[in-house]
Structure 1
Amino acid sequence: MDIQGYCAPGFEALYDAFASNFLEHGDVGASFCAVQRGEIIASLWAGSADRDGTRAFEEDTLANVFSCSKGVLALVALQQVAAGKLDLDLPVAHYWPEFAAAGKGEITGRQLLCHRSGLIAFRERVADNLIYDWDAALQQVAVTEPWWTPGSRQGYAPFLYGWTLGGLIEKASGQSLMSLYRQGVAQPLALDGGFGAVGHRSASIADVGPLKKPLPELRDNAIGRSIKEDRQGPVATAFTNPVTLMMGTNGDQWRGALIPAANGHFSARDLATIYGDLASEEPTLLPADVLRASTAEQSRGQDAILQAEVAFACGFIKSAEAQDLYFGSPAGFGHPGAGGSIGFADPQQELGFGYVTSRMGQSLFMDQRAVGLMQCLYRLL
């Protein structure tokens, strides 16, 4: 395996750890990056970016990182908090009056961010192409009824999170989400990608697909079992209404749309750079006091959709003891994406970690590929 990139002196073992993901765990195209105190200590990439194996995976190649996108979206929301444009404890309807429909008048921005709004899926079956129409998706969210009393329980919103929080950001700021992302995050950090796969610095896009050989699971597949047991229940509906949410991720419609909970396209260097900044003592993206308050635990429990014990800060998942949710230290926070990609911050080490892959495993959290890289890295620190 021809591994490209750089490791700082003393971190050379990461070459072998990264190569093992291709040789033993089925990676076909991937990148990995770690940033500590503003310096890249490793940036590695290898493999192919297309299904035919004719186009190389580069350092700036963008891969669909699915729910890793949620952490970046939360960051944009928190920047509006820092700017005084968004108060997380006011009702969303204060900024977005239409959102008050169907019993949502008291839902707050904080509840959206920490997945306690009850708004986990569209209640009615929606048109397959709805997800490609930003304005139509916001209108549908505004009239959707929560699945349970807001604030009463924790339930992860796999896709609606992007439209509910994205709509709130736009209503509160008076600007488009894409403009806010570019001005507040992408340009200051010179990032390669962003939401969707077009209009960014990098034009290199990886095709995604499943691993040919599934990895051994790090936890029981309770989500899959729940979907099979109740095809009309909240877990199944959250992931399959409409069915296009699980299909077409290599198509032009998906790549050209704004689906901020799931179609972020980033490089590993992007994710490590973002979280490296958030892990630093003097972050540039957020004032330190806002960052401390927003990364404190807001909700913890057996999540009704993820079917696992999960703790949320404001838009970030908190580090846990479970191997697939341990982000470097107990102080860590970040967000994994379906299939195996991950970005996280470890303030104890002032470190940002990013791994993206074009070959998706079956976990919604980290799998053996990212875990192996993290464990190797931390042995070397």
Structure 2
Amino acid sequence: MEIHGFCAPGFESLYDTFAANFRDCGDTGAAFAVRQHGELIISLWAGSADGESREPYMEETLANVFSSSKGVLALLALQQVADGALELDRPVADYWPEFAAAGKEEITPRQLLCHRAGLIAFREKVADDLIYDWAAACAQVAATDPWWTPGSRQGYAPFLFGWSLGGLLERATGQPLPELYHLGLGKPLDLDGGFGALGHKSTRIADVAPLKKPLPELRENAVGRAIKEDRGGPVAMAFTNPVSLMMGTNSREWRGAVIPAANGHFSARDLAAIYGDLALDSPTCLPAELVREAGREQSRGRDAILQAEVSFGAGFILRGGSADLRFGGPRGFGHPGAGGSVGFADPERELGCGYVTTRLGQSLFMDRRSANLVEQLYGIL
């Protein structure tokens, strides 16, 4: 496997670690990037962007990063707080009156960001094509009952996070979410991708597919077990209602839609740029006090949906002790995506990291591929 890109002096061993992911862990197209002190110090890419190995994977190739998209959306929300368009502890319904339906009148943006709103899944079965209709999906979220009393427990919202928070941002600002992204992040940070796969700086789009051979996981797949045990329960409904949430990821409809909790298409250097900026003492995309809010623990516990002990800041998962949540130093924060992608910031080292892949593992957090790269990186730092 030919590895493309560069590593700054002293980081050359990352070539071998990245190559080992292809040799031993099933990668067929992937990229890894790191920024430190505002400079790109590592950018590696290799393999193919399609299943037929006809399209080479490039530095600017966009891959679906699934829930790594949530960190980008959370950053957009915090930008609106900085601009005065949004208050974290004011009811969502003040900006979006329809959202008050079904007992949600007191839910706040902060509760949405740290997954304490109880709005984790549609209560009723919805049509498969709902997810491709932005206005209809937002309206459905506004009408949906919470699964428990808002604020009473922590429960990750795999998909509704995007429509609830994105719908709120549009109503608070009067601007479409793609425009907020372009003005707030895409243009200032010169990013390759964005929500959906179309209309971005890069037109190179990778197909994604499951790993041909599952990796040994870093933790038990408790989510999969919970889905099998109760097909109508909150965990199953959160991930499979509708089933198109799990099955349409290379389709034209998926790529053309705005599903901001799950269909962000980014390059590794995009994620490194976003988190590398957040890790700086003086970030350009967010005031330092709101970066601290992003990385301040606001909810912690055994998550009712993720079936694991997780700590959330304002829209970001905080560094944990397990290998699949080891986002750099003690103040690290970021967001992994189902299948293996991850982006995170380490403010202590002013470092931002991004990994994207076309071969999807079974973990909802970091898997062995990104964990190997991060472990090797921090062995050098």
TM tier, shorter chain?
over 0.9
Calculate the TM-score normalised by the size of structure 1: 1.00
The 5-angstrom pairing of residues 1-381 of structure 1 reads: 1-381=1-381
Structure 1 distance, partners of 2:193, 2:294, is 24
1:380 Cα offset (Å): 1.3
1:248 Cα offset (Å): 1.3
1:323 Cα offset (Å): 0.6
1:293 Cα offset (Å): 2.2
What is the percentage of aligned positions where both structures have the same residue? Answer: 71
Moved over 6 A (4+): none
2:187 counterpart SS class = helix
1:30 counterpart SS class = strand
Q: Which moved more, 1:288-297 or 1:235-244?
A: 288-297
1:185 counterpart SS class = helix
Residue by residue, what CA displacement relative to the aligned partner does 1:140-192 show, whole Å, maximum 9, x if unpaired? Answer: 00100000000000000000000000011111111111001000101001000
Structure 1 distance, partners of 2:124, 2:68, is 27
Amino acid in structure 1 at the alignment position of 2:158: P
Amino acid in structure 2 at the alignment position of 1:133: D
2:348 counterpart SS class = coil
1:294 Cα offset (Å): 2.9
Amino acid in structure 2 at the alignment position of 1:288: A
1:76 Cα offset (Å): 0.3
Structure 1 distance, partners of 2:2, 2:294, is 41
Amino acid in structure 2 at the alignment position of 1:190: D
1:46 counterpart SS class = strand
Amino acid in structure 2 at the alignment position of 1:71: G
Calculate the TM-score normalised by the size of structure 2: 1.00
1:214 Cα offset (Å): 0.4
Residue by residue, what CA displacement relative to the aligned partner does 1:301-325 show, whole Å, maximum 9, x if unpaired? Answer: 0000000000000000000001100
Residue by residue, what CA displacement relative to the aligned partner does 1:82-132 show, whole Å, maximum 9, x if unpaired? Answer: 000000100000000000000000000000000000000000111110000
Aligned-pair RMSD on alpha carbons?
0.5
Q: Is 2:295–2:331's contact at 8 Å kept on the other side of the alignment? A: no
Structure 2 distance, partners of 1:95, 1:350, is 35
1:310 counterpart SS class = strand
Structure 2's unaligned 5+ residue stretches are none
1:41 Cα offset (Å): 0.9
Structure 1 distance, partners of 2:163, 2:289, is 27
1:9 Cα offset (Å): 0.7
Structure 1 distance, partners of 2:228, 2:178, is 37
Amino acid in structure 1 at the alignment position of 2:364: L
Structure 1 distance, partners of 2:291, 2:172, is 19
1:328 counterpart SS class = coil
1:101 counterpart SS class = helix
2:265 counterpart SS class = strand
1:343 counterpart SS class = strand
Residue by residue, what CA displacement relative to the aligned partner does 1:7-37 show, whole Å, maximum 9, x if unpaired? Answer: 1111100000000000000000000000000
Structure 1 distance, partners of 2:76, 2:187, is 13
2:188 counterpart SS class = helix
1:348 counterpart SS class = helix
Q: How many residues align?
A: 381
Structure 2 distance, partners of 1:213, 1:199, is 34
1:265 counterpart SS class = strand
Residue by residue, what CA displacement relative to the aligned partner does 1:237-263 show, whole Å, maximum 9, x if unpaired? Answer: 000000100011001000000000000
Structure 1's unaligned 5+ residue stretches are none
1:290 Cα offset (Å): 1.7
Structure 2 distance, partners of 1:292, 1:315, is 12
Structure 1 distance, partners of 2:128, 2:294, is 35
1:295 Cα offset (Å): 1.9
2:111 counterpart SS class = helix
